[in-house]
Structure formats: structure tokens, C-alpha cells
Structure 1
Amino acid sequence: MDSFSKKVRTFDAFPKIDSEHTVQSKRGGLSTLLTGFCALLILWVEVGGYLGGYVDHQFKIDDQVNTDMSINLDMLVAMPCEFLHTNVMDITDDRFLAAELLNFQGTDFILPEGFQINKHNDAHDTPDLDEIMQETLRAEFRVSGARIHEDAPACHIFGSIPVNQVSGDFRITGKGFGYRDRLIVPFQALNFSHVIKEFSYGDFYPFINNPLDFTGRTTEEKLQAFKYYSKVVPTMYERLGIEIDTNQYSLSEQHRVYKTDPRGRPQGVPGIYFHYDFEPVKLIISEKRIPFLQFVARLGTILGGIIILAGYLYRMSEKLIKILYGKKYAERDTEKKKGGLLDS
């Protein structure tokens, strides 16, 4: 049996260090503890990352043919409802009188606290997966086509409008401006100051923050035109088999004041314009997890790298101590194990 053990040791690919060549020291023990602590810390992080998964972002061509979608709106305009005209027109020359489905409620014009008024809107960040999963409570406006107190100083407009999924405009103008109407609003009554609580595309999720939400613009000009241009990107969020199909959009703005011609007529149509255009790509944000065997291989590679790196750093530190303080100082507090030839 002893001869067999000797033969096995002879063919050992990783021969062990004899006890007489090993040296114990406080610095070596400390480095071992630090290495073990770092290894446990990385092990804890990697296991947590594996269990929690990771968020993957991918773009793909939107191959779904969607003919229509909704514009969800909740805003306040500083004009009486009876003076306002709402209309949708797209590149197919299809017109839709949005007033048939929107709700008009007369009220007073106020600037709510917490709204960004007359500020540049740069809130174009994509909502993360956790935020969407927490805030996606689908809702619908309970009424449509209601008209209450239309002669009040301001008008609360809210509701959902079905539109064709092509480039188009949703417009809020004064009656008699841009469209024929029995009533022509006088210049002195025009005031397109407004605040927007909700403006989104697709299914109505009232708790998801969009670029136009909680914003507003005020003006003293009567022939003011506020123009918002949005690029709509279909977005799908996936987690644990749950899919939430929504839309997000980027925003740019252009505002101008029209002048009048020699006859006193405005050289443009004042109002509030929401221009929308749809991108041919779809963003998919999903939670994924790496395969288990890949995780084990990754974990072994990281832990092995830590051990090798710790050995290199320890040897470098020992050489540096010898250079700076001498060999005697470096060998202080070391304990050589018994078993060598000189021990006898």
C-alpha cells in the first residue's frame, strides 16, 4: 500500500509543498482572510445577480400591422369651452372631430403646484422595468362627449381619442380659425395658456410618467401657437410571463406668435398642436437569467482569478517590504514549520 502511495505521488500533476518549506506569518494570515472575505462578497453578489436576473434591451422591426390607437388627454386651457374647436387630421386627409368623444368641463384656470411651467421639457428617459411593473394600472375614462359649464373662464379637456396609426396632428384652436364655424372667436378672447396632466399614446396607464405630463405653458399673446412634436416608439415590457404593451415618445417643441396682415387677419392659425409620428421599430425590455452551467463556469473563473491575483499581490508586497525595510524585518513574526533537516 505504501509503495502504491509513493507511485501516486510521483505522478501527481500538482505536487504539494513539503511542510519544511512552508512559512507562517501574520501578514500571510491577514492576506488569506482578506482573500476569503473578497471571495465570499463576490459569491454573494453573483448569486444575487443570478437569482435576480438582468434587464435586456432589444430593438426589432415592428412587424405588427396596427391600424389604430388612442391618444389619452387630460389638460386645462385658459379659454371657455364654447370657444374651443378640437380636431384630428392625419396624412391620409382623414379628419375626426375629437369633440364627439372628449369631455369639456368649464372651470377656473389655475397653475397647479409641482407642474413644470414654461420650462424646457427634457424628460425623455425610458422607464425601467420595475417602475413599469409597479405603475401599470390600466384605466379608462368613465364618460365621453360630456359638456359642462362651457361658459366658464377655462376648459378642462379630458378623454381618449381613437386615431389612425399614421402621422397626424391633434389640434386645439379657436372656433372660426382654420375651420369654418358659425361662431368666430374675437382676438381679445384668445388665450392658449395651458397645463397638461396626461398626454400618452395607446392603452391608458395613468401612473406612467410621460414627457408632457405635469407640464404647462403660459402666454400673454393672443395669436400664440404651441406646437409639440413627438416620435412614438412601441415598447413591450416582459417579466415572468407578464407582458405590458405600451408606447413611449420623445418630444420637441416649437412655439411662435403669428402676426396680422394689412387687413388685420392672422398670418397663421393660433392654437395648441400635437404632431405625432410612429417609428417602425419596437423596443423590447425583458428580464432574463443566464443558464445555470454558464453561471457555475463564470463563478469558478472569478473565484480562481481572485486566488491567483491575491497570490501575486502577496508576493509583490513581500518583495517590496524586503526592499524597503530589509530581509530581517520581512522575516519577523514568521514561524517556520518543523520537519526540516536542521530541526534535528
Structure 2
Amino acid sequence: MDRSSGFIRTFDAFRYIDGAIDHQFTVDELVRKDLVINLDLVVAMPCNYIHTNVRDSTDDRFLAAELLNYQGTTFNIPRWYEQSAKKIVTPELEAVLERSLQARFQYQGEHHDEGAPACRIFGAIPVNRVKGELHITAKGYGYRDRTRIPAEALNFTHAISEFSFGEFFPYLDNPLDMTLKKTDTHLHTFKYHLNVVPTLYRKLGVEIDTNQYSLSLTESSGKYVPGIFFQYDFEPIKLVVEETRLSFWQFVVRLATIMGGILVVAGWLYKLFDKLILLTFGKEFAKRGQEKKEGGLLDNVEDFEKI
């Protein structure tokens, strides 16, 4: 547990020693024209049936298959893949720093064993930083193609191992990572709606510039073009997650302020207690003991010296 979280965070001593994690939204000052989508998923259909395409609001289109790698495989998905929606949370700063190992795909545009029963599609796709869509469909559906795959051969059951935006950090957890979606119908449509927020993690001079996203999913059968669709949009704000610490002099000033406040409150409590005694027991009880001080042996010493 982070000692700077919860009620402990209110104590400046812990903020001076351990620091505090600060979350702030700010306008993204960087002019970002493009970025990449990092993708690694398996579709329960042969690679030579699949068509991939990217298009955006600027009408820029290209065949993603020219950059993505297609590798024929079998649809054997580990049982720990989640079939329900994952809880979306902002990762802890320490966890991000521990897992911020950058990587890249070694090759692109290579296709192997395209006739295997399932297809692994992976790689990095450069896209414009505007509203856009990544489509994974079957040949002959949604786009013109020389061939048309029979409807009974379609199966868009899929498992996603990686889906992220920007620099590729394979150990960071994203909402779509390790998720599985199944369908029993051939003409099934999966539509993922993603809102991407640039996120900067900063601690002790180390900066991790990445992106996180929220998502929603809609499904239908026979109503739209069958396939897997990722519709993404970018927010104009940036989330900055950083560790902040008080300087020594700020800590001293705030500590002195706290001590002064404690003394003032203690004075008020003392006066209040004195008033309560006076109201409850009367003046005789409140002044009890003062007659002893006034009637002591040394009270008349001054008069004795005058004699």
C-alpha cells in the first residue's frame, strides 16, 4: 500500500518523505500528427480468408496487410484469457516504471502458412492521429475483392494479446490485452469503440510517454458487414501522473503552521473547559484552592516588616 494514499496522504510529513502521486488533466501541447497501433491477435479463420484495412476521417486508406504479419496457427487460447470486459483502471506509477521496457516487432508484412485453420495477425501500423477505423473482414465482404469467401466458412471468434497505441511497451496492461470473444454465428460483427488519452508518467526525471484508452463493445449478427472493427478517436487532453514532493523549507513552513494551529485550538479548548466548569459547579468550585494561596504564612510578611 502506498503510504501517500488515503488519509495518510494528508500528512505533509509523509509527502515530504515518500512523495505523493498527483493526477492532472491538461491540454496536450504536443502537435501529434501520427502514431502506431500495436496489434497481436488470433482469428479463428485461415489467413487467406482475411482482409485488413485502415481508414480515417481524412479519407486516408491503406491495406494494413502490407505491414502486418500473418502467421497460420491453431486456435488454442490459454484459459486465463478473459471473455468478459476488463475493469479499466489507470496503472500505478510504480507498476508503469517497472514494466516500461520498450520493444518492436522485428519484421513486417510477412505471411506464413496462410491455409492453417487460424490466423495470428501481429505488427505495428502507423496511422494519422485522427478519428479512424481498423477493419478485419473476410475477402468479398465490405470491400471489392476477386474472391468471396462462403458465408458458412466465416468465424470471427478472436483472442487479443496486445492492442495499444504509441510506443510499444509489451509488459504494460491494456484493456483489450488477454481478452477473448466468441461467436457461434458466421455473419457476426464485433465493433470496439476506443477513446484514446495521451498519458505521461513522470518520476525522478524519468518520463514514460504512452497512451491509455477506454472502450465499449457492440455485437450483432447479420445486420452489418461481418468482421472485427476497431473504431478509435483521440482526446485533446493529456493525463499527467507524477510523483510530487515537498521541498525542505515548504515542509518546515507547513509544519510550523500546523503546530501553531494546534496551540490555538488547545487554547480554545482550555477556555471552553474552564467555562464548562464555571457553569456546571459555580464560582465557589472554580475558585477552590485560591483562598489557601491568599491565606498563607507569607501573606503578612510585608506588614510585619513595617512594624
Distance 2:160 2:294 in 1: 85
Partner of residue 153, structure 2: 189
Q: Could you say if the C-alpha distance between residues 60 and 313 of structure 1 is closer, same or farther in structure 2, counting changes exceeding 3 Å?
A: same
**Match of residue 222, structure 1, among 186, 194, 219:** 186
Q: State the 1:294 CA deviation.
A: 2.6
Q: What is the 5 A alignment of 1:1-344?
A: 46-117=12-83, 119-123=84-88, 125-259=89-223, 268-307=224-263, 309=265, 342=296
Give CA deviations for 1:14-68 in whole Å, capped at 9, x if unaligned. Answer: xxxxxxxxxxxxxxxxxxxxxxxxxxxx9xx633321322222222222322221
Which residue identity lines up with residue 120 of structure 1 in the other structure? A
Partner of residue 264, structure 1: none
Q: Could you say if the C-alpha distance between residues 288 and 270 of structure 1 is closer, same or farther in structure 2, counting changes exceeding 3 Å?
A: same
Distance 1:288 1:104 in 2: 45
Which residue identity lines up with residue 105 of structure 1 in the other structure? Q
RMSD (Å), alpha carbons:
3.1
Flag structure 1 segments of 5+ consecutive residues without an equivalent: 1-41, 260-267, 325-338
Distance 1:317 1:120 in 2: 58
Partner of residue 332, structure 1: none
Q: State the 1:319 CA deviation.
A: 9.3
Which residue identity lines up with residue 220 of structure 1 in the other structure? D
Q: State the 1:193 CA deviation.
A: 0.6
Distance 1:343 1:140 in 2: 95
With 168-177 and 241-250 compared, the bigger mean Cα shift is at 241-250
Distance 1:188 1:222 in 2: 6
Give CA deviations for 1:253-279 in whole Å, capped at 9, x if unaligned. Answer: 1111115xxxxxxxx310000011111
Distance 1:158 1:115 in 2: 17
Which residue identity lines up with residue 77 of structure 2 in the other structure? L
Give CA deviations for 1:89-119 in whole Å, capped at 9, x if unaligned. Answer: 11111111111111111111123222211x2
TM-score for both structures, normalised by structure 2 = 0.82
Distance 2:188 2:68 in 1: 23
Which residue identity lines up with residue 257 of structure 2 in the other structure? T
TM-score for both structures, normalised by structure 1 = 0.74
Q: State the 1:70 CA deviation.
A: 0.3
Q: Could you say if the C-alpha distance between residues 196 and 321 of structure 1 is closer, same or farther in structure 2, counting changes exceeding 3 Å?
A: farther
Which residue identity lines up with residue 244 of structure 2 in the other structure? K
Distance 1:343 1:93 in 2: 106
Q: Could you say if the C-alpha distance between residues 80 and 340 of structure 1 is closer, same or farther in structure 2, counting changes exceeding 3 Å?
A: farther
Identity of aligned residues (%): 52
Distance 1:49 1:61 in 2: 26
SS in 2 for 1:116: coil
Flag structure 2 segments of 5+ consecutive residues without an equivalent: 1-7, 281-292, 299-307
Q: State the 1:144 CA deviation.
A: 1.4
